[in-house]
Amino acid sequence: MICQNCNKNEANMHMKRIVNGRAAEVHLCKDCARSLGYGEAFTGFGFGGLLGELLSKGEQIGSSVRCSFCGKSFEEIAGDGKMGCAECYNIFYDKLLPSLNRIHGKASYSGSRPQKEASVELRIEELKVALKAAVEQQNFELAATLRDRINDILAEGGEQ
Amino acid sequence: MGAKWYLGTGAQNDVVINTSIHIARNIRSFPFPSRLSLPEKLKVNSVIRDASEAIDDYSFNYAEMKMLSQSEVVSLAERHLVSPEFASSRDGRALLLTEDEAVSVMLNEEDHIRLQVMYAGFALDEAFKTASSIEEQLSRKLDFAFDDKLGYLTQDPVALGTGMKASVVLHLPALVSTSQITKLIATVSKLGLSLRGSYGEGAAAKGDMFRLSNTITLGISELAAIENLKSIALQIAAQERAAREEIFKTPVIEDRIYRAYGVLKYARMIDTNEFMELISLVRLGAVKGLIKMDCASIEALMIHMQPATISLSVDRPLDRVERDKLRAAMVRQNLG
């Protein structure tokens, strides 16, 4: 059997786990198992540090991409296990996916959803509050991102 | 202290102490709390506070944690209204709290919003209904961070998805004294739930109080998670009742209960650990009809006898000796 992660080496680590109610089988080669953190599958399972622990074992670290919204880098997320903002999930989605799968399984979301998408007025109003706070803080990078977002929403609204 | 939620009596209260639902939410247009400066946190607090004013049927008191004394904050944690983590660092954090303390919202804890709804006894459906209604009303005023595949987004990716944690607190003295608890904790973890001490962790759980919670937040709906929790809680409650039948077959337990009652009734000094150990036995005796005390007042006593809450009741810091003396006096008074 070939490793599910690199699709190259022979898989020699086989794990069966029940995640979110479903049995999931994982077949990995030694190197991928280690880099995905499976080597320590049976050791401590701290809550806060879990993600940081997982991510810091990944090999993708070294890029200096920062979140365009909050400015947090992937290394920093790996360092403290905390996402910087909602946009971080978008920007680092591919890098996060192996860890998310490890924490939650490959399950997809099936819970409740917001009743309806937030109205344009509400989104703009909130962004303006955030913009004001960012300017007061002299966080001009974030302020510029927020301003662009407001303009994007207004442009979308204008087209409709 | 006025009429609080825990003064009511709930279903299954021989074993189930209380039920709580926690919901985590974040506002899309602000970074998560760990990336916010102090003024930005205060801004987030005021945005959420404004939104909370439009909630029907509930009116909240608002408090900046910075404005409260250390004892007041620790007491909030002892009453399970805020997390110990929330109490440990107060800058930029605030609390919305209803008068009866049944609904609390921590602002800028791990997420912008941590809503908690508490009911006495076994009331998962009711607590969830209340929590959802409040969440839904907040969502009309706030744009929550949500992703189609991942659900509600949280600062810690472990909590994302439904962002919901449902818990019941169980009194399990018979499962502890028959040493079944360790095995139960292990079994429960395989079912996507966790069982831990409600006052103090693991085997050192004080007062034999344990919190059973769901741990899965992705790939399962809120209602399915609650149904799962409900059925396991009822099974554990049934096991506890069976274990109680067993231990009451010898006279030893009855003797321990009356001795515990005697010590509580006449002690002149008592620390938290001893108090919790003895009150657990007294509660068991009360449920069995040996001791005339209602469960709600025992629960209230457990909450009021925690160290910071005791100090608050006299409005000045107490050293250990003073506190243990005061605790003994208050317990004697409550036991009549």
Note the pLDDT tens digit of each residue in A69-121: 999 999 899 889 999 999 999 999 999 998 888 888 888 898 999 876 677 88
Say if residues B92 and B41 touch (Cβ distance below 8 Å).
yes
Is residue A39 pLDDT above 80, yes or no? no
pTM of full prediction above 0.80: yes
Phi, psi dihedral angles at A115 (to 5 degrees):
-50, -50
What's the Cα-to-Cα distance from A19 to each of A108, B122, B160, B320, rounded to whole Å? Answer: 12, 27, 15, 47
Task: Choose the mutation target among B21, B25, B30 for the interface with A, i.e. most A CBs under 10 Å.
Answer: B30
CA distance B240 to A144: 59
Q: What is the pLDDT of residue B311?
A: 83
Q: What is the pLDDT of residue A59?
A: 43
Classify burial at B110, counting beta carbons within 10 Å of its beta carbon; exposed 0-12, middle 13-18, buried 19 or more. Answer: buried
Q: Domain end: B211, B246, B281, which one?
A: B246
Q: Please indicate, yes or no, whether residues B195 and B321 belong to a single structural domain of this protein.
A: no
Residue B39 in contact with partner chain A when CB distance is under 8 A: yes
Q: Please indicate, yes or no, whether residues B219 and B302 belong to a single structural domain of this protein.
A: no
- Residue in chain A closest to B38 (alpha carbons) equals A137
Residue B136 in contact with partner chain A when CB distance is under 8 A: yes
Long-range contacts, stretch B190-193, CB < 8 angstroms, 24+ apart: B190/A18, B191/B228, B191/B232, B192/A20, B192/A21, B192/B216, B192/B220, B192/B228, B193/B228, B193/B229, B193/B232
Is residue A19 pLDDT above 80, yes or no? no
Q: Please indicate, yes or no, whether residues B220 and B299 belong to a single structural domain of this protein.
A: no
Nearest to B219 among A80, A107, A139 (CB): A107
DSSP letter at B57 equals: T
Range B37-73 burial, b when 16+ CB lie within 10 A, else e: beebbbbbbebbeebbeebeebebebbebeebeebbb
Q: Please indicate, yes or no, whether residues B151 and B260 belong to a single structural domain of this protein.
A: no
**Residue B174 sits in which domain range?**
168-246
DSSP letter at B227 equals: H
Q: What is the count of structural domains for chain B?
A: 3
Residue contact B221–A110, C-beta within 8 A:
yes
Q: Please indicate, yes or no, whether residues B3 and B149 belong to a single structural domain of this protein.
A: yes
CATH value at residue B91: 3.30.590.10
Residue contact A123–B40, C-beta within 8 A:
no
Higher pLDDT, B243 or A136: B243
Q: Please indicate, yes or no, whether residues B9 and B114 belong to a single structural domain of this protein.
A: yes
Is residue A50 pLDDT above 80, yes or no? no
What tokens were used for B259? 């001795």
Q: Domain end: B246, B271, B301, which one?
A: B246
Task: Choose the mutation target among A16, A68, A101, A109 for the interface with B, i.e. most B CBs under 10 Å.
Answer: A109
Residue contact A70–B40, C-beta within 8 A:
no
Q: Please indicate, yes or no, whether residues B1 and B149 belong to a single structural domain of this protein.
A: yes
Residue contact A19–B144, C-beta within 8 A:
no
**Closest CA relative to residue B24, chosen from B164, B121, B136:** B164
Q: Domain end: B161, B188, B220, which one?
A: B161
Q: Please indicate, yes or no, whether residues B307 and B326 belong to a single structural domain of this protein.
A: yes
Task: Choose the mutation target among B29, B32, B34, B215 for the interface with A, i.e. most A CBs under 10 Å.
Answer: B29
Is residue A22 pLDDT above 60, yes or no? no
For residue B140, count other CB atoms closer than 10 A to its CB.
15
CA distance A26 to A101: 11
**Closest CA relative to residue B125, chosen from B44, B11, B29:** B11
Residue B31 in contact with partner chain A when CB distance is under 8 A: yes
Is residue A38 pLDDT above 70, yes or no? no
- Residue in chain B closest to A111 (alpha carbons) equals B221
Say if residues B120 and B296 touch (Cβ distance below 8 Å).
yes
Q: Please indicate, yes or no, whether residues B31 and B111 belong to a single structural domain of this protein.
A: yes
DSSP letter at A40 equals: G
Nearest to A129 among B34, B43, B141 (CB): B43
Q: pLDDT of chain B along its 336 residues, tens only?
A: 467 776 666 779 999 999 999 999 999 999 999 999 999 999 999 999 999 998 989 999 999 999 998 888 888 988 889 988 898 888 999 999 999 999 999 999 999 999 999 999 999 999 999 999 999 999 999 999 999 999 999 999 999 999 999 999 999 999 999 999 999 999 999 888 999 988 765 456 889 999 999 999 998 999 999 999 999 999 999 999 999 999 999 999 999 999 999 999 999 999 999 999 999 999 999 999 999 999 889 999 998 998 888 888 887 888 999 999 999 999 999 997
Q: Which residue has the tokens 């554990």?
A: B236
Q: Which residue has the tokens 């860890």?
A: A99
What tokens were used for B258? 């009356």
Nearest to B157 among A21, A51, A108 (CB): A51
Phi, psi dihedral angles at A34 (to 5 degrees):
-70, -45
Q: What is the helix (H) or strand (E) element at residue B60, kind and residue range?
A: strand B60-64
CA distance B95 to B82: 8
CA distance B114 to B106: 5
Q: Please indicate, yes or no, whether residues B149 and B290 belong to a single structural domain of this protein.
A: no
CA distance B256 to B275: 14
What type of residue is B48? I
Coil, strand, or helix at residue B114? strand
Q: Please indicate, yes or no, whether residues B240 and B257 belong to a single structural domain of this protein.
A: no
Residue contact A105–B218, C-beta within 8 A:
yes
Beta strands in B108-249 (DSSP E): 113-120, 146-147, 151-152, 164-171, 193-197, 209-214
Strands across the sheet with B60-64, in order? Answer: B60-64, B94-98, B103-107, B113-120, B16-25, B164-171, B209-214, B193-197
For residue B230, count other CB atoms closer than 10 A to its CB.
16
Q: Please indicate, yes or no, whether residues B213 and B270 belong to a single structural domain of this protein.
A: no
pLDDT interval class at A13 (50, 70, 90): low
